[in-house]
Amino acid sequence: MDTDTLIDHGAPVRQFSVMLPNRAGALAALVKLLRASAIEVIGLSVQDSRDATVARLVVSDPDTAEHLFMEKGIPHASCELVVVALRESGPGLLQCLDTLMIAETNIDFAYALMPSPGGHSLLAMHVEDYEFALAILHQSGFKLIYQEDLSR
């Protein structure tokens, strides 16, 4: 497969990893802060520990969210995610995972996003090589989702 050909695509979906104190209401307070700036949480994964919580967030307006986090002094990091719209959750998921396995590319972590306006299941994945994974999935006929598709 020729993965050197540039795919005409939109901006990558950005995920924020936000460190929160491990206490009741911390995540709700973060979501309220985002909503006050008209930012919606589209995807969420929470990893809890005794002292802190890491919340992975995909939001409708990542640029504004990043400015808000910096302004409020909220510790965060961001990364690019590959997002695939799956027509069927069971078979579609397995086909996507098999495609990446055959291409010998690793998935660092993955989680589902909120349903898309079209009703598709959305799978967000952090992969070892973003451009390679995009090319492989595109060539295999998967519908890829970009940030502008999520910014409703």
What is the pLDDT, as a whole number, of residue 4?
Answer: 46
Point out the domain boundary residue: 44, 79, 114. Answer: 79
What is the pLDDT, as a whole number, of residue 8?
Answer: 58
Same domain, 97 and 62: no
Least confident range of 8-17, 29-38, 98-107, 109-118: 109-118
Same domain, 99 and 48: no
Query: Residue 83 half-sphere exposure, CB side, CA atoms within 13 Å?
Result: 27
Same domain, 43 and 85: no
Give pLDDT tens digits for 78-99.
999 999 988 766 678 888 889 9
Same domain, 63 and 21: yes
**CATH code of the domain in which 31 resides:** 3.30.2130.10
Q: How confident is the model at residue 69 (pLDDT cuts 50, 70, 90)?
A: very high
pTM of the model: 0.84
Is 139 a domain residue? yes
* CA dist list (Å): 144 to 12, 67, 69, 84: 10, 27, 28, 5
Q: Are 127 and 137 in contact (CB under 8 A)?
A: no
Give pLDDT tens digits for 98-139.
999 899 889 999 998 887 667 778 889 999 999 999 999 999
Radius of gyration over alpha carbons of the chain, in Å?
16
Same domain, 117 and 69: no
Same domain, 104 and 146: yes
Q: What is the distance between the alpha carbons of residues 113 and 99, in angstroms, rounded to a whole number?
A: 20
pLDDT exceeds cutoff 80 at 52: no
Point out the domain boundary residue: 41, 56, 79. Answer: 79
What is the pLDDT, as a whole number, of residue 2?
Answer: 46
Point out the domain boundary residue: 22, 46, 79. Answer: 79
Same domain, 75 and 109: no
pLDDT exceeds cutoff 70 at 1: no
Q: Indicate the number of domains in the chain.
A: 2
What is the pLDDT, as a whole number, of residue 5?
Answer: 47
Same domain, 46 and 98: no
Domain that holds residue 130: 80-150
